[in-house]
Amino acid sequence: MNKKISLGLAISIAVACITITFAVTMSVAQHTYNKLVSNLSGRTDTNKIISELVDTVAVEYYGSISPESVNAKTAAGYVEGLGDEFSFYLTARDYSDYNTRMSGKTSGIGISAELDRENGYMHVMDVYKGSAADSSGLQKDDYIIAINDEDVTELTYERLSGVLSGQKLTTVKLTYLHESTKKTANVMIGYSSQSIYGEPIGSVGYIRISAFYKNTATQLKNTINELAEEGATSLVLDVRGTKDGTIECACDVLDVIVPVASIENGALATAVFSEAKGSVKEVIATSDTESVTLPMVVLVDGETSGGAELFACDLRDFEMAELVGEKTKGNDTYQKVFELDDGSAVVLTVAKIKPYRTETYAGGLVPDHEVKLSRARSEIASAEEDEQLQAAIALLNNKVNS
């Protein structure tokens, strides 16, 4: 039996629906307006302070003013004022260098080096085969003490490191210590940076991933194939201290290793934007059918950050690797680059990253096997002295032999 409602009741229901819709619309509009007014007020205050500062400096400052320098420093200071270590401003020149580095094409002499804080020298961690440094006789664990006759110290380290990644076909003079013997060499810059280094340690293939650039995935694929041909039956993937590169490139590297992602939306990484943007989710990358079937362990530490953390987290989420080492940094943020009208740019944190299965790694990834080093990594002279690496090798050997 059909039930009918009166015309009056129908009108009352319609009016109620309209009222509710209007109330909700007004609430959202009010929230948006309040936010807009708040932002406008803050922007007005900022503009007022800057305007007063410019006027004061123009009248009172004793010295010449470089508008280009002032503008760059002001922009950098504004971004720095956000209090986010992962957001930063780039001048037009810095932006060009940044793009080159992210492409993996940065020229150099073919070494991986770190500052030795005890003596202030540049400690050579790796020398890449076929590089200019390799040809010059520079070896792993040498110490570069001067570049172009300028001493390498803790204060000059960053600037002199930049000299080694300068323009191609530039020759630099290195003064270095090899087993306490001082040597010199003129080295030609012209070697594209390698973010992957691999070597066999018995039946274990050791792979160091120093960054996640556009060419890292190809380098990793080639290195895994080479190690497999040399008889490697398992892999140690070392991302200790790794923080450079992008989330997208980390996903490209993951895609070399993992099979098709099948749970939820199949995303290797998902960007989750702020509530102000409606908590919108954006899939960063998915994976294909190609995968690596060798047993794996990932080495991590407190400086493993960003894309390197996603890499380690996803491999564990896929149940393809266990983590060995120390708790990671906990940087689950996602950055985008925005180019400005003058050719400069800002790298800005725009979202949080949701990995494949784990909810978040914002608090840092706790390794499956926590192993602390008895001394700094820069002081470790061989694989035998690296407790974390040895723990990973033992774990893999047990898996392969069980």
Q: Is the pLDDT of residue 16 over 60?
A: no
Query: 3 pLDDT exceeds 70?
Result: no
**Mean per-residue pLDDT over the chain, rounded:** 88
The larger pLDDT score, comparing residue 210 to residue 1, is at 210
Please indicate, yes or no, if residue 118 is contained in any of the structural domains. yes
For residue 25, what are the domain limits?
7-61
Tell me, yes or no, whether 172 and 210 share the same domain. Answer: no
Higher pLDDT, 215 or 402: 215
At 36 the pLDDT is: 45
72 band by pLDDT with thresholds 50, 70 and 90: confident
**Helix intervals (H) in 303-364:** 307-317
Q: Which whole number is the average pLDDT over 285-310?
A: 96
Asked whether residue 70 is assigned to any structural domain, the reply reads: no
Last-in-domain residue among 148, 163, 192: 192
238 and 223 in a common domain? yes
The reply to whether 86 falls in a domain is no
Q: Is 117 inside a domain boundary? A: yes
Q: Report, as an integer, the average pLDDT of 220-241.
A: 97
Is residue 402 pLDDT above 70, yes or no?
yes
Q: What is the pLDDT of residue 390?
A: 97
Residues 186 and 201 in one domain: no
DSSP reduced 3-state for 234: strand
Q: Look up the CATH number of the domain holding residue 303.
A: 3.90.226.10
Residues 185 and 204 in one domain: no
The one-letter amino acid code at 75 reads A
Mean pLDDT of 95-105: 86
**Single residue among 165, 192, 219 that ends a domain in this structure:** 192
Pair 171, 203 in one domain: no
The domain tally of the chain equals 3
The two tokens of residue 80 are 């720095």
Instruction: Kindly state the average pLDDT of the residues 87-110.
Output: 87
Least confident residue range of 20-34, 135-149, 166-180, 378-392: 20-34
Residue 88 placed within a domain = no
How far apart CA 216 and CA 316 sit, in angstroms, is 20
Same-domain check for residues 141 and 217: no
**Per-residue pLDDT tens over the stretch 166-220:** 666 688 999 999 998 999 999 988 766 688 999 999 999 999 999 999 999 999 9
Distance CA 131, CA 194 (A): 10
Whether residue 83 lies inside any domain: the answer is: no
In a domain, 93, yes or no: no
Model confidence at 71, in pLDDT bands (50, 70, 90)? Answer: confident
Q: Which helix (H) or strand (E) holds 94?
A: helix 92-102
**Do 264 and 383 fall within a single domain?**
yes
Residues 216 and 292 in one domain: yes
186/229 same-domain check: no
Handedness of CA 300, 302, 303, 308 (dihedral sign): positive
Determine, yes or no, domain membership for 289: yes
In the chain, the percentage of residues whose pLDDT exceeds 70 is 87
Residue 287: which residues within 8 A CB-CB, separation 6 or more? Answer: 254, 255, 258, 259, 260, 261, 266, 268
Residue 28 confidence class, pLDDT cut points 50, 70, 90: very low
- DSSP conformation letters of 1-49: ------HHHHHHHHHHHHHHHHHHHHHHHHHHHHHHHHHHHHHHHHHHH
Same domain, 167 and 297: no
157 shares its domain with 56: no
| Ramachandran angles phi, psi of 337, nearest 5° | -105, 130
pLDDT attached to residue 60: 86
- Do residues 200 and 183 share a domain? no
DSSP state of 96: H
Tokens encoding 330: 């906990």
Q: What is the CATH number of the domain that holds 161?
A: 2.30.42.10
The residue from 192, 209, 234 where one domain ends is 192
